[in-house]
A and B are shown apart, each in its own frame.
Chain A
Amino acid sequence: MKIYQHITSGVMTMAMGGVLLISACTDDIKFGDAFIEKTPGGTVTIDTVFSNAEYAKQFLTGIYALQYYGLPYSQSVNHSSSPYVGKLDALTDAYQLHWNSNTVYNSFYSGTLNSNEQPLISYSNDYVWEAVRQGWIFIENIGKVDGIATADKNNMIAQAKCLIAARYFDLFSVYGGLPIIDHAFTGSESSFSCPRATAEETVNFMVKLLDEAIPDLRWAYNGNTSDTDDTNTGRWTAAGAMALKAKILLFSASPLYNADQGYYDGTTEAEKQHLVWHGNYDAQRWQKALQACKDFFNRLSTDGFYKLMEPTDPEVNCKNDANGYRQAYRYGYIRQGSKEVLHSTRVATVYGTQGTYAWWNWVGIGRHSYLPTLEYMEMFPWSDGTPFNWEKDETAGRINGTNGRLFYQNKVGRGGAVSKIPSRDPRLYENILVNGTTEQFDWNKGTPSGNAYELWVGGYHENWDVMGPQKNAETGETEYLLQEKLTSKYSTGMGVIKYYLGEEFHRKYMHWVYLSLDEMYLMYAEALAQTGDLTGAIAQVDIVRSRVGLAGLAAKNAALNLTTDKDNLINEILRERACELGMSNNHYYDMIRYKRTDWIVKPLHGLVTYRLMQNSKGQWVRNYEPWMGTHKDNGIAEPYRFEYETFQLFNRERQQWGKDPNSTEIKKWLLFPLPVTEVNKGYGLIQNPGW
Chain B
Amino acid sequence: MIKLTAIKKTIMPCAMMCAMMLLTPPFLGWQTAQAAVQQQKSQIRGTVVDSQGEPIIGASVVIVGGKSVQGTVTDFDGNFVLNVAPGTQLKISYVGFKETTVKASNGMKVVIEEESTMLKGVEVVAYGVQKKVTVTGALSSVKAEDLVRTPIGDVSNVLAGQLSGVTTIQTSGEPGQNATNIFVRGQGTWVDSKPLIQVDGVEREMWDIDPNEIESITVLKDASATAVFGVRGANGVVLITTKRGQEGKARVTTNVSFSAMTPTNLIEQANSYEYALYHNQATISDGAAKGVFTDAVIQKFKDGSDPIRFPNMRWDEYIMKDVTLQQQHNINISGGNKKVKYFISAGMFTQDGMFKEFGKSWDYGYEYQRFNYRANLDMDVTKTTKLSFNIAGKVDDAARPRTGGGAAAMIKAIYNATPFSSPGIVDGLYIENSNSTADNEDGVMLPFVGDAPMTYYSYQPGGIQTNNNKLSMDLILEQKLDFITKGLSFKAKGSYNSDYSVTKTLTASVAKYTPVVLAQRDDTNAIIYDGDGNIMTQPMLFRKNGSDVDPTYAYGYGKGRDWYVEGSFNYNRSFGMHTITALALYNQSKNYYVNDADNAYTDIPRTYVGLVGRITYDWNNRYMAEFNIGYNGSENFAPGKRFGTFPAGSIGWVVSDESFFKPLKNIVSFLKLRASWGLVGNDKVSAKRFMYIPDPYNVNQNALLERTGKDSGAFGYNFGVENPTTAMGAVESAKNSADVTWEKAFKQDYGFDMYFLSDRLRTNFDFYKEHRKDILWQNNNSPSLRGFSIPYTNFGEVDSWGWEVSLNWQDKIGKEFRYWAKLNLSYNQNEIKIDGQAPQTNEYMYTKGHRIGSRSLLKFWKYYYTGAEADYLAEFGSPFPTQLVANLQPGDAVYVDLDKNGKIDGNDYAVGQGHTNDPEYITGLQMGCSWKNFTFNAQLTAAWNVTRVIDGAFRTPFTASSGQSTQGGGLLKYHVDHSWTAENPSQSAEYPRATWKNANQNYANSTLYEKDAKYLRLKTIQLAYDFNFPFMKVLGLNQMQLAVSGYNLLTFTPYIWGDPEATASGNPSYPLQRTYTASLKLGF
Contact = CB atoms under 8 A, between A and B. Distances in A.
Whether both chains belong to one complex is answered with yes
Interface in A16-69: 16, 18-20, 22-24, 27, 31-33, 35-41, 43-46, 48-49, 55-56, 58-59, 61-62, 64-66, 69
Contacts of A133: 732, 786-788
Interface residues of B, number: 105
Interface stretch (A71-79, A247-255, A524-532, A605-613): A71-79
Contacts of B838: 677-678, 680-681
6 contacts: A23-B565, A44-B697, A65-B714, A129-B785, A194-B783, A630-B438
B609 A112 contact: no
Contacts of A470: 292, 294, 447
Contact of A487 (B492, B697, B735, B962): B962
A65 B642 CA distance: 37
A614 interface: no
Contacts of A181: 785, 787
A7 B586 CA distance: 10
Contacts of B600: 40
Contacts of B694: 43, 45-46
Interface stretch (B716-724, B794-802, B1035-1043): B716-724
Given A678-B783, A680-B841, A36 B635 contact: yes
Contacts of A59: 697, 729-731
A106 interface: yes
A632 to B, nearest CB: 14
Contact of B721 (A23, A230, A487): A230
Contact of A187 (B443, B714, B786): B786
Interface string B691-711: 001111111110011111110
Nearest to A81: B705
Contacts of B1000: 106, 110, 112
Interface residues of A, number: 114
Given A33-B609, A114-B907, A677-B838, 8 more contacts: A7-B586, A15-B490, A16-B565, A35-B607, A65-B716, A112-B905, A130-B710, A336-B722
A62 B706 contact: no
A145 interface: no
Given A40-B600, A337-B722, A478-B443, A185 B693 contact: no
Contacts of A114: 905-907
A154 interface: no
B720 A232 contact: yes
A11 interface: yes
A59 B698 CA distance: 9
B839 A681 contact: yes
Contacts of B705: 65, 69, 74, 77, 81, 347-348
B966 interface: yes
A659 B735 CA distance: 48
Contacts of A419: none
A508 to B, nearest CB: 8
B721 A27 contact: no
Contacts of A348: 704-707, 718
Contacts of B962: 101, 487
A19 B704 contact: no
Given A112-B885, A655-B886, A347 B706 contact: yes
Nearest to A32: B609
Contacts of B730: 44, 49, 55-56, 58-59, 61-62
A278 to B, nearest CB: 23
B443 A473 contact: no
B791 interface: yes
A290 B699 CA distance: 43
Nearest to A683: B783
Given A16-B492, A137-B732, A55 B699 contact: yes
A498 interface: no
Contacts of A486: 965-967
B639 A15 contact: no
Contacts of A11: 490, 492, 567
B690 A125 contact: no
B611 to A, nearest CB: 6
A49 B733 CA distance: 12
A349 B697 contact: no
B919 interface: no
Interface of A: 1, 4, 7-8, 11-12, 15-16, 18-20, 22-24, 27, 31-33, 35-41, 43-46, 48-49, 55-56, 58-59, 61-62, 64-66, 69, 73-74, 76-78, 81, 100-101, 106, 110-112, 114-117, 123-125, 127, 129-134, 137, 179, 181, 184-185, 187, 189, 192, 194, 230-235, 336-337, 346-349, 354, 356-357, 458, 468-471, 473, 478, 485-487, 509, 629-630, 634, 655, 675-678, 680-683
A469 B705 CA distance: 44
Given A11-B490, A12-B567, A116 B722 contact: no
A59 B729 CA distance: 6
Interface in B472-530: 473-475, 477, 490, 492, 494-496, 525
Contact of B710 (A38, A61, A66, A110): A66
Nearest to B607: A36
A19 B966 CA distance: 64
A141 B708 CA distance: 28
Contacts of B707: 74, 348, 354, 356
Contact of B787 (A36, A132, A336): A132
Contacts of A46: 694-695, 697, 732
B884 interface: yes
B729 A681 contact: no
